[in-house]
Structure 1
Amino acid sequence: MDFEELPSHELEVQARDGGGFLERATVTITLTDVNDNAPELTVSSSLSEISEDSPTGTVVALLHVQDRDSGVNGEVRCSIADNLPLRLERSFDNYYRVVTAEELDREQVSEYNVTVQAADGGSPALWSSAVLWLRVLDVNDNAPVFAEARYSARVPENNTAGALVLRVQAWDADWGQNARVSCCMMSSMNGSY
């Protein structure tokens, strides 16, 4: 018998004696629900990419959860790890949303694998999970940085034109086009280059 299919059954029984007398009675069987269904967690929609300058509260995913059991066995709680810049909010009925809880920084973490877990209130609890993959897109939010704050070189007078004088190194923490660094010469106080 399955409580979720039919929570009670009613049947009629009859008894007959050898003399032909007949008696009927109705028997009602009411099933007690047991925690035999894990929560069903469905990702209704989700982003696979998000810009690192997205405002706090940006919706990353919408989830739907349901449990076919009843009572406490069907009460579902969803959770995600605490160490993420994301939070889980119950939006309405059996829907949850994953939203940004703070500003993202692609240079610190460029992608997240977020496991959302849904557990019911049964004992022992049954659970299911879904994994969201989120890539953080770069914005040009870092200036180039030189390896040294000041460079100096000694060059002999009458040096050959085009001879190497000095190597400088600079990099940018951004990614792709935003990380391309080009150097140019600027005039100095002692003359122009």
Structure 2
Amino acid sequence: MLVDMVIDGIDVPDDGTEAVDHIGELLQRVAGGDQTAFGRLYDLLSPRVFGLILRVLVDRAQSEEVLQEVFLEVWQSAARFAPNRGQGRSWVLTIAHRRAVDRVRSSQAASDRDVRVGFRDLDVAHDGVSEQAELRIEGEKVAAALSGLPDPQREALTLAYYGGYSQSEIAALVGAPLGTIKTRMRDGLSRLRSEMGVTA
């Protein structure tokens, strides 16, 4: 007899068969204008999405704004979700991460403009600005290196480090064996270190 465990809206059969992507199913219904499905999708994913955004932005108010932007984009672009290219949850988290990074860049650009104007009047806080710039540059290097990874490795690392999922949760989400997820993460981290010139 088939026994299913339900983890945050994902059915994970205990017989080794592939997981059912309930988030993907909801996205397909949302693409058809189903408001009830959108409400269910929001209820299931908003805590995870908010957590990811907050990790990137740190600022709670900005994170709340970006959360709304993410779900607006999900509502407007759900038809672009392709079930054959990955899990629904990963698709939404990718949108969230991109939006959060865009907000960081936008905020940094505004801050840089303010700093340039401020330097004309008062030469202060240079060390703090330098540190912020270095962190931003480092973050951009990581994002660029991450985007160069094969899709399975990038998905596993994004879910782990931006989504906060454990390896076993990632295995359930993407419908892959735990050993495969561990290998993807190990190989992905190795490639990231190499790309960024970091020695283990």
**Normalising to structure 1: TM-score of the pair?**
0.20
Compare CA radii of gyration and give the structure with the larger one.
1
Structure 1 or 2: more strand by fraction:
1
Higher relative contact order (Cα pairs below 8 Å, separated by 6+ residues): 2
Structure 1 or 2: more helix by fraction:
2
**Normalising to structure 2: TM-score of the pair?**
0.20
